[in-house]
Structure 1
């Protein structure tokens, strides 16, 4: 397909972009994905409680774990457990009695702590129920970690060389950490994946149905067709991200640096849209193109997480207002690379056409 008259008005691009967005309403899978994201963002303050319980079961408030303990170092374990919220302990003289308390349901777990060869040996039993077992084990792990810290501190004087000090236990709220390191990056980058999938479907459908032939008759160039389709796909991602940020703010989750975050989202949307156009042009069958696109997106994002300024960390730092000059520079680099990649794909298609 050859370019017609370069330098035309941008209105053909806008008309093509509008046509793409109108077609989007018929894509039930994409519309459903958008509605799911909308639901998560709109009710984030409510859903985050349940999501955090899966992310960090020990963060559940109001759930008391009753522990039946016995053994030679009961005092040490009780002292460590007393520093953990949501755990209550009961001392028993022997393991059989403690285990019997668990078997009858009077205790959520039974633990025996004995000292053997200078080390503390722990035996614990937990319920079979998957949900209850997860919460019990998560709470018990905190007590045992405290016991380990105490034991290291007591034995430090016997060492010939002083070991490195253990880091202090972080005191941040798991809800805060989950919101800014998991939920917000998830809501920001899911629209990016949708944008790439949208452009793949659009191009492959045009090639499969032969509707690109109709555009050949219209007074538009190949570059304008690429720009119009890309404008709809790329613009969808930051538009969704802006709405999610607004809804999070309504739910009392403040997001810092929204402009830079939207630039980051637009940069990755541009990159995946360029990749999607290239894949759809080379593999015009929809199923093959979507498979290649999915693999390509996984490779791109998995590879980007290995970078010092990976996008997930950059989004979290920006959202929590802890970004440095390096973080901002990283976003600019992503935007520059994405723009260069898109211009390269656009130039190649404008010169050789979609077929």
Structure 2
């Protein structure tokens, strides 16, 4: 409670002050404008961006593949039926490998029959570079079709009739890009911006000496921190809600919007709390921003070890097919957000205001 007896008045006043100063932060404003543009014109942007997400959907690109081995003729016939693939037959495997090394072909496939009757296809493709993804996708489609062909050809020699070769399901790369890339981007990006905003809000107060003026006023440090946290953490779910509305207006329905906003709010609370704690510890803007960025990258790496990645959680919620693990993840994010809030409150209570102001 503040010294004037009002428990929330000073916090709300500081939060309004923080939001009012956002217009002077050109970087933050530019980030908001970019997000607004992406959300407002998502149906238009996805047409161009989907070729980067799914290179298999790009038209006019041809992958030249050197084909060799005992089964080269069947494999070449299958590859010739694939759109965007041009097979070149070589008599020996070494000649196909040499053609790849000489950059005469983009990839090489050497198909030989093993002693147990199975067909082994040695595939050589670039492991890096811009063309790598396109080549790998094209080879994957060719090998899958070749496998289907061989299964169908050998089914007549089996004692029991096997299951029929399943049809290739129709895929919509625009659908996949929208819900696995665009929606998570618009939900998580405001979270990261809010954390950076919180770091700047605290460190600038220390560097400019305005925190000292607030400290001598009838306002406690806890209330100052709460006001800044309220402004920064509350900004992310508000932005996410606006972006989801714009997506729906563009013909992209988003399911489980309340759960998505809860995830955005919980993660924002955790990230902003971390940013404020770093700002109070370092009292230096550059150092705090560096540690904040490093912390975000570390957290992003740790999330890959989770049973369900946050991006998958958001995508499943947006599509409308959440699993049990998805709801467990949502509950976990809420707990993390609340734990971070309690942690920063405890940390602020142990901060020596005089020492903090003296180090700024």
Q: TM-score, normalised by structure 2?
A: 0.78
Equivalent residue, structure 1, for 2:216: 217
Equivalent residue, structure 2, for 1:39: 37
What secondary structure sits across from 2:24 in the alignment?
coil
Equivalent residue, structure 2, for 1:284: 283
Equivalent residue, structure 1, for 2:15: 17
Aligned-residue offset at 1:110: 10
Contact 2:107/2:135 (<8 A) preserved: no
Hey, what's the Cα distance between the residues in 1 that align with 2:67 and 2:276? 66
Equivalent residue, structure 2, for 1:162: none
Residue 75 and residue 336 in structure 1: after superposition, are their counterparts in 2 closer, same or farther (change >3 A)? Answer: closer
Hey, what's the Cα distance between the residues in 1 that align with 2:338 and 2:214? 25
Hey, what's the Cα distance between the residues in 2 that align with 1:91 and 1:279? 59
Q: How does 1:38-117 map to 2 (within 5 A)?
A: 38-60=36-58, 63=60, 65=62, 73-79=72-78, 81-82=80-81, 84=82, 86-87=83-84
Equivalent residue, structure 1, for 2:101: none
Hey, what's the Cα distance between the residues in 2 that align with 1:171 and 1:247? 28
Residue 259 and residue 114 in structure 1: after superposition, are their counterparts in 2 closer, same or farther (change >3 A)? Answer: closer
Q: How many residues align?
A: 335
What secondary structure sits across from 2:348 in the alignment?
helix
Equivalent residue, structure 1, for 2:188: 189
Stretches of structure 1 that go unaligned for 5 or more consecutive residues are 100-107, 160-164
Residue 6 and residue 77 in structure 1: after superposition, are their counterparts in 2 closer, same or farther (change >3 A)? Answer: farther
Deviations 1:38-66 (A, max 9, x none): 22111111211222211211113x53759
Aligned-residue offset at 1:251: 1.5
Hey, what's the Cα distance between the residues in 1 that align with 2:313 and 2:65? 45
Hey, what's the Cα distance between the residues in 1 that align with 2:347 and 2:120? 68
Equivalent residue, structure 1, for 2:161: none
Hey, what's the Cα distance between the residues in 2 that align with 1:308 and 1:111? 36
Contact 1:74/1:91 (<8 A) preserved: no
Contact 2:67/2:76 (<8 A) preserved: no
What secondary structure sits across from 2:176 in the alignment?
helix
Aligned-residue offset at 1:347: 3.0
Hey, what's the Cα distance between the residues in 2 that align with 1:9 and 1:291? 34
Residue 197 and residue 139 in structure 1: after superposition, are their counterparts in 2 closer, same or farther (change >3 A)? Answer: same
Equivalent residue, structure 2, for 1:323: 322
Equivalent residue, structure 2, for 1:203: 202
4+ runs of 1 displaced by more than 6 Å? 66-72, 88-95, 108-114, 120-126, 130-134, 155-159, 165-168
Hey, what's the Cα distance between the residues in 2 that align with 1:93 and 1:283? 64
Hey, what's the Cα distance between the residues in 2 that align with 1:334 and 1:293? 19
Residue 279 and residue 167 in structure 1: after superposition, are their counterparts in 2 closer, same or farther (change >3 A)? Answer: farther
Aligned-residue offset at 1:16: 0.7
Deviations 1:140-185 (A, max 9, x none): 54223322443466578999xxxxx999855432221221112211
Contact 2:125/2:136 (<8 A) preserved: no
Equivalent residue, structure 2, for 1:27: 25
Contact 1:305/1:312 (<8 A) preserved: no
The one of the two structures with greater contact order (alpha-carbon pairs below 8 A, sep at least 6) is 1
Hey, what's the Cα distance between the residues in 2 that align with 1:6 and 1:154? 85
Contact 1:77/1:144 (<8 A) preserved: no
Residue 339 and residue 156 in structure 1: after superposition, are their counterparts in 2 closer, same or farther (change >3 A)? Answer: same
What secondary structure sits across from 1:352 in the alignment?
coil
RMSD: 3.9
Contact 1:191/1:241 (<8 A) preserved: yes
Residue 112 and residue 319 in structure 1: after superposition, are their counterparts in 2 closer, same or farther (change >3 A)? Answer: closer
Hey, what's the Cα distance between the residues in 2 that align with 1:302 and 1:112? 35
What secondary structure sits across from 1:316 in the alignment?
helix
1:235 matched to 2:234: yes
Aligned-residue offset at 1:81: 4.8
